[in-house]
């Protein structure tokens, strides 16, 4: 790192010697990319603003010419991507840019003004920082719209990834288990007998079933509390989504056949999510009716409702959400992160089996009724979604890289003497 920092310092001194600023010295064109140019000062600025992380990761082993070549190559690629984004009509609005700046400030626990002062005190030009941020957002939007959103990931790909990388998708589970084992190494037991044993287990339990089939070599074992890491893969797969007091399907092994009963489960790394069984009635706005009139109508509807059956009938009669209205306003089980914030907020706060006051979202005016709340362990879903996202990013990146190579081949690129 010392070598590269020394080079950057010497490079800066060469350009800015005799107290001459970047704006004053005789700038020159270093590269032409289609109808755009890259100036010597742009390369210098790009080097000046390399972060310590970038220097360590990408530049610390390069000599002076290699550093310049690498920075120039990145500037050429950036120009090509920005030109492509322009052709696709991608443009970052001022509002989107302001929101991004606010987000960056919030992540650093600063105000926007504090962020601006921090950037300036770090020796950066704030206007240039904002413009580079806009360009970065433009390129990210190009990636998402043209590559990421078009990359399809199948369940089979997720399963293959999990199996290949031996990823635990169930969380850190402890199982309290009972095991029913039918010793049958040669698999001589007839299928209809095996089916009957399984039916009896569900009806009368392990011990009674063992006694009933006394002529068959059967053992019942109390495995106790076992962490999933200690269980064979066959057992882990069979236990997927099994709740307390449930039985697994029949598990076939070299030893014979196994059925597990889940006495208790504890997920030490669980991600618990609340889901709300919710119904609503929606009245959409129109130019002939004011918000206050819609709100008053909803209050009148709410006051007529005495119980759930009344809510269902009112939703069918009045709701402008015809899909849920046909089902009595039923939206099924919903999570707050899947809904607009105003709806989610009311849904979380309203007591069970009570009707909310009218409230407004971008869809119109609502009243809602929460029938039930359940807590589910979302660990497996989160793990699988993260895997699918990683596969999608990898696919999109490879697609983008291939496209970028073709873009370079088709572009007019001329590099001049530095």
**What per-residue confidence (pLDDT) applies to 16?**
38
Domain boundaries, the chain: 2-137, 147-171+380-418, 174-267, 272-377
Asked if the 272-377 domain carries CATH number 3.10.50.40, the reply is: yes
The tokens of 173 are what?
């589970």
**What per-residue confidence (pLDDT) applies to 163?**
82
Segments in the chain below pLDDT 70: 1-26, 168, 170-171, 267-270, 418
Cα separation of 331 and 376, whole Å? 18
Q: Alpha helices, DSSP H only, in 166-286?
A: 191-212, 233-238
| Contact predicate 178/261, CB 8 Å | yes
**What per-residue confidence (pLDDT) applies to 21?**
43
Cα separation of 22 and 43, whole Å? 11
Residues 212-226 pLDDT 10s: 999 999 999 999 999
Please name the residue that has the structure tokens 């089980």. 333
**What per-residue confidence (pLDDT) applies to 11?**
44
Q: Which residues contact 218 (CB under 8 A, 6 or more apart)?
A: 180, 181, 182, 183, 209, 210
Residues 308-327 pLDDT 10s: 999 999 999 999 999 999 99
DSSP 171: -
| Contact predicate 275/181, CB 8 Å | no
**What per-residue confidence (pLDDT) applies to 20?**
38
Tell whether pTM > 0.75: no
Which of the four CATH numbers 3.10.50.40, 3.40.50.2300, 3.40.190.10, 1.10.10.10 does domain 174-267 have?
3.10.50.40
**Domain 2-137 and domain 174-267 have a common topology:** no
CATH architecture of structural domain 2-137: Orthogonal Bundle (1.10)
C-beta neighbour count of 226 within 10 angstroms: 14
């Amino acid at each position: 790192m010392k070598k590269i920092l020394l080079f950057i310092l010497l490079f800066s001194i060469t350009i800015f010697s005799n107290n001459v600023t970047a704006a004053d010295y005789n700038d020159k064109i270093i590269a032409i990319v289609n109808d755009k140019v890259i100036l010597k000062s742009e390369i210098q600025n790009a080097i000046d603003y390399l972060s310590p992380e970038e220097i360590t990761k990408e530049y610390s082993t390069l000599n002076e010419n290699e550093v310049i070549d690498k920075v120039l190559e990145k500037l050429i690629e950036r120009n090509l991507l920005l030109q492509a984004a322009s052709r696709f009509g991608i443009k970052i609005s001022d509002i989107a840019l302001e929101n991004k700046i606010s987000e960056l400030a919030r992540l650093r626990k600063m105000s926007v003004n504090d962020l601006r002062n921090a950037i300036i005190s770090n020796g950066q030009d704030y206007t240039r920082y904002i413009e580079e941020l806009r360009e970065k957002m433009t390129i990210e939007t190009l990636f998402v719209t043209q590559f990421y959103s078009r990359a399809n990931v199948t369940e089979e790909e997720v399963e293959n990834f999990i199996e290949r990388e031996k990823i635990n998708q169930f969380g850190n589970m402890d199982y309290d288990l009972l095991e029913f084992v039918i010793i049958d190494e040669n698999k001589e037991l007839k299928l209809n007998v095996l089916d009957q044993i399984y039916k009896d287990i569900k009806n009368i339990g392990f011990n009674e079933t063992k006694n009933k089939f006394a002529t068959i070599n059967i053992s019942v074992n109390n495995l106790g509390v076992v962490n999933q890491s200690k269980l064979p893969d066959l057992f882990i797969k069979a236990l997927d989504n099994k709740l307390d007091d449930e039985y697994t399907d029949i598990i076939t092994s070299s030893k014979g056949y196994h059925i597990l009963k889940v006495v208790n489960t504890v997920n030490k790394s669980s991600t618990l999510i609340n889901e709300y069984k919710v119904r609503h009635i929606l009245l959409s706005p129109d130019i002939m009716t004011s918000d206050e009139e819609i709100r008053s109508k909803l209050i009148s509807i709410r006051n007529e409702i005495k119980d759930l059956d009344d809510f269902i009938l009112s939703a069918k009669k009045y709701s402008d959400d015809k899909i849920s209205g046909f089902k009595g306003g039923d939206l099924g089980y919903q999570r707050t992160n899947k809904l607009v914030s105003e709806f989610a907020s009311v849904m979380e706060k309203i007591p069970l089996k009570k009707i909310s006051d009218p409230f407004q979202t971008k869809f119109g005016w609502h009243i809602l009724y929460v029938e039930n709340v359940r807590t589910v362990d979302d660990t497996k879903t989160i793990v699988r979604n993260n895997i699918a996202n990683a596969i999608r990013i990898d696919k999109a990146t490879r697609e983008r890289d291939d496209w970028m190579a073709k873009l370079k081949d088709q572009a007019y690129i001329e590099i001049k003497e530095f």
